[in-house]
Structure 1
Amino acid sequence: MTKPRVLLLEAAGPESGALVATAVAAGYQVHAATDLETHATFATDLKALLSGCLLTDFSRTEQALRDVIDYAHRRGIGAVLTTNEYLTELLAHVCAALGLPGNDPARAAAARSKAAMSEAFARHGVTAPRSRVVGTEDELLALCSARQITFPCVMKPAAGASSAGVTVVTSPAEATAAFQAAKVPRGMYGMDLDPRVLVQEFIEGTEYSVESITQNGTSTHLCVTRKTVTGGAHRVELGHALPAVLSPETEQTVLKEVDLAIAAVGIRNGASHTEVMLTPNGQCTVIEIGARIGAGQIGFLIQHALGIDPWAACLDTALGRPAHLAPTRSGYATVRFLTSPHPGRVATVTGLPDPSPRVPIVRVRKVVGQTVNGATDNTARLGSFVVVGPNQQSVDLYAEQLLDQIRIDVEPGDWPGSHSTTTET
């Protein structure tokens, strides 16, 4: 019996690459939809795995939808999925048009737009920060003057990703600059994004995420991820570790809120990544959710620590088959991200660990001579490494030892390209 063909909306990025490799190894023909510019960056080994490629313009949403549906019909596609934050709404509409397992297209925008997400959370009783959408600087200043915005607060793009343009604002004097930073367009593929700014209540606490797979409206939570985040105006992720261990009562509280969030944005079939904040008194607040597997190596951490294959699970879900989600091992894994202290040009990078059984992944995104930005969002990562082992104490200790050995020298200055932005998918 011929296996159905698989179409991946965007194949760039480590998560997409892992999904392609997993599907091909299982005997599936994998096709990709991307744009011309991104296709030019595909590695030779990735191109060799793909059975076909559709070039489209994702910034023209309706045309891209028609292109993907037409391609799927012509090539006999039986499953469509994505790991890309910017394409989850398109995916929901494609799956609905093709009659394939997917998410609710009528609510898919709420898993992308932070403004729509905030409204959906409020309607469905999700515990979330109080939020207000602001369209203009004059509106913002008027709200500040009327003391209708309390400080500290968080300002973020209404439809951004990777924490780009997100600022913790501590006083009205900082509000204008933060508002302008949040209005800078950062969409992939030249997409027109909602230009408004979301002003949210600041929640003090410890940040976690929950990684889930939903099939036919029933969610299985794979694990809770502990996040290491900087303080200050820009809360940049420095690392992830899993599985995080919470008390049974706290875990029950967290997963209840996550279930509400998944339902609120219409996730019915697929992976989700829900970011939550746990306050000192044990309250769980949902910050946001994405209708995709967690980026930043989280899928690889799950695979190494728990023995769950998240790529196979995503594929099975897209094919409408039961996914194998039970852990097969009881380990621990962490990723540490390398960042630059300021914008400039990379002069030297020394002390990177060599790949080994304890350090199965070492990735470098910027090399000597390339320009970099300061660590103001998650797009500024210079690289990362993953450490695995039997327990949290040994893994975290070894990861810190390795991190202490790495030296990154960045020549300061306004080098061409040092303020450009990219998005990790």
Structure 2
Amino acid sequence: MTKVIVIGAKDHTVNCLNEIGLTAVLVQKPGTVSEYLTRIAVEIFYCDYEDEEEALKTVEKIMEKHLVAGVFSFTELGLYPCALAAERLSIRSNCNLNAVLLSRDKYRMRELIKETELNNIDFKLVGEVEELTCFFNQIAAPVIVKPQQGRGSRGVFLVENECQLSLALQHARKYSDGEPIAERYVGGEEYSVESLSKNGDHTVLAITKKTTTGAPHFVELSHIQPAPLGETIRKSIEDTIELLLTKIGHLTGPAHTEIKIESGKIYIIETHTRVGGDNIWKLTYLRTGVDVFKETFVSVLGLEPVNSLAITRVNAGVVKFILHESIEVNSIAGLDSAASIEGVDCLELNVRIGDRIKNPTNSHDRLGYVVGLGDSIADAERIADRAINCIRLN
């Protein structure tokens, strides 16, 4: 059987490649391997793959021992080492180094958008409070301050008055070594766009509506598919995504792009050359029947096209996140009742008795999630809400 390397693998990723006749040699961080991965992988190599030299040496070691057809990653922290290994070692991959570097760097992305007809926003690198103050006064509007290469809402802060400038800069710096970036705050509704690229041809699969906690940290609360949008704006979004992905040089594999629509104009917030997190990828599969993992493996390796599994596609789906005010957890109840509700696809609670919960300032502070499926958005939301209301933390 054909072997591939997967950096930062998850159970569903390896299951997908096994279903199309591939086997996996894994590069994993210690403590990130499930029983399933231990059982199914050809071999597992442990390293901190965020260390690029260590990751390269590990991939080289694998290639000396195993005949592999490609190296893949679908996780945020695995994209760069995967792309670097692919370029340095001349091996096929879904990770393109230039596209990964551009999508990770919010400042370079803004500079790139300036060269296109896409709508851009005012932005500036701000190393000092004086620079942020000058930018804030110059645009005379609220600004978002965030790490230049941040992720998961970490370090994001909305500045609405001068009293918040120093705090915003300190907050962003906690999550980044480089200079933070300040951008004019874009109002309107927030969406994410899931796409699949094959040899430079880009197809939008789904558009997801998002809700957040709002200012100052904008932690995501829910994802809703399909986003309730008209055909005209939907087509404009598709054109925007195609131009953006072509411009950054993304060739093959999934992409997850966050946008906002303000006064009828589409603004790119950021893009990632991976699947959408927070189970957005699963919503997309359940609604479209397109398995982006299998499609990516097949396209990169030049295999026979995937025969889509006969799944019952759903009309609507939501991911809702579980939050709670600051407490120390003494008891947990209602999980089995919540999971048994018809229409609940999956549920996860990452809390144990004795944990101290804090008010969320980024996505990693959320306690868990429920995926609800229904005939309509209202049905799916009602199912997810009912499940969350069953869960009791004291």
Q: CA deviation at 1:248?
A: 1.1
Q: Is the 8 A contact 1:4 1:77 kept in 2?
A: yes
Matches within 5 A, 1:263-302: 263-279=246-262, 281-302=263-284
- Which residue of the partner structure matches residue 325 of structure 2? 341
- Which residue of the partner structure matches residue 304 of structure 1? 286
Give the percent of matched residue pairs that are identical in Structure 1 and Structure 2.
24
Q: Is the 8 A contact 1:34 1:55 kept in 2?
A: yes
* Aligned CA distance change for structure 1 residues 87 and 113 (closer, same or farther; 3 Å): farther
* Partner Cα separation in structure 2 for residue 392 and residue 94 of structure 1: 42
- Which residue of the partner structure matches residue 210 of structure 1? 193
Segments of structure 1 that go 5 or more residues without pairing to the other structure are 186-192, 410-425
- Which residue of the partner structure matches residue 123 of structure 1? 115
- Which residue of the partner structure matches residue 366 of structure 1? 351
Q: CA deviation at 1:385?
A: 1.1
Matches within 5 A, 1:68-147: 68-96=59-87, 97-144=89-136, 147=137
- Which residue of the partner structure matches residue 421 of structure 1? none
- Which residue of the partner structure matches residue 365 of structure 2? 380
Q: CA deviation at 1:360?
A: 1.9
Q: CA deviation at 1:196?
A: 1.2
Q: CA deviation at 1:138?
A: 4.2
Q: Is the 8 A contact 2:193 2:257 kept in 1?
A: yes
1:391 and 2:376 are equivalent in the alignment: yes
- Which residue of the partner structure matches residue 200 of structure 1? 183
* Aligned CA distance change for structure 1 residues 81 and 334 (closer, same or farther; 3 Å): same
* Aligned CA distance change for structure 1 residues 327 and 211 (closer, same or farther; 3 Å): farther
Q: How many residues align?
A: 389
- Which residue of the partner structure matches residue 317 of structure 1? 299
Q: Is the 8 A contact 2:373 2:379 kept in 1?
A: no
* Aligned CA distance change for structure 1 residues 323 and 80 (closer, same or farther; 3 Å): farther
3-state SS of paired residue (1:127): coil
* Partner Cα separation in structure 2 for residue 238 and residue 317 of structure 1: 34
2:8 counterpart letter in structure 1? E
- Which residue of the partner structure matches residue 152 of structure 1? 142
Q: Is the 8 A contact 1:85 1:112 kept in 2?
A: no
Q: CA deviation at 1:276?
A: 0.6
3-state SS of paired residue (2:101): helix
* Partner Cα separation in structure 2 for residue 95 and residue 324 of structure 1: 28
- Which residue of the partner structure matches residue 24 of structure 1? 18
* Aligned CA distance change for structure 1 residues 131 and 87 (closer, same or farther; 3 Å): farther
3-state SS of paired residue (2:249): coil
* Aligned CA distance change for structure 1 residues 402 and 40 (closer, same or farther; 3 Å): closer
Q: CA deviation at 1:181?
A: 0.7
3-state SS of paired residue (2:373): strand
Question: In the TM superposition, what whole-angstrom CA distance separates every residue of 1:208-248 from its partner, at most 9, and x where no partner exists?
Answer: 11101111000111111111212221111111121224211
- Which residue of the partner structure matches residue 332 of structure 1? 316
2:367 counterpart letter in structure 1? L
Q: CA deviation at 1:336?
A: 0.8
* Partner Cα separation in structure 2 for residue 30 and residue 355 of structure 1: 34
* Partner Cα separation in structure 1 for residue 391 and residue 215 of structure 2: 24
Which fold has the larger relative contact order, with Cα–Cα distance below 8 Å and residues 6 or more apart in sequence? 1
Q: Is the 8 A contact 1:214 1:267 kept in 2?
A: yes
Q: CA deviation at 1:78?
A: 1.1
- Which residue of the partner structure matches residue 4 of structure 2? 6
* Partner Cα separation in structure 2 for residue 324 and residue 270 of structure 1: 17
3-state SS of paired residue (2:158): strand
Q: Is the 8 A contact 1:337 1:385 kept in 2?
A: yes
* Partner Cα separation in structure 2 for residue 171 and residue 34 of structure 1: 44
* Partner Cα separation in structure 1 for residue 118 and residue 59 of structure 2: 34
Given the two structures, how large is their TM-score scaled by the length of structure 2? 0.91
Given the two structures, how large is their TM-score scaled by the length of structure 1? 0.84
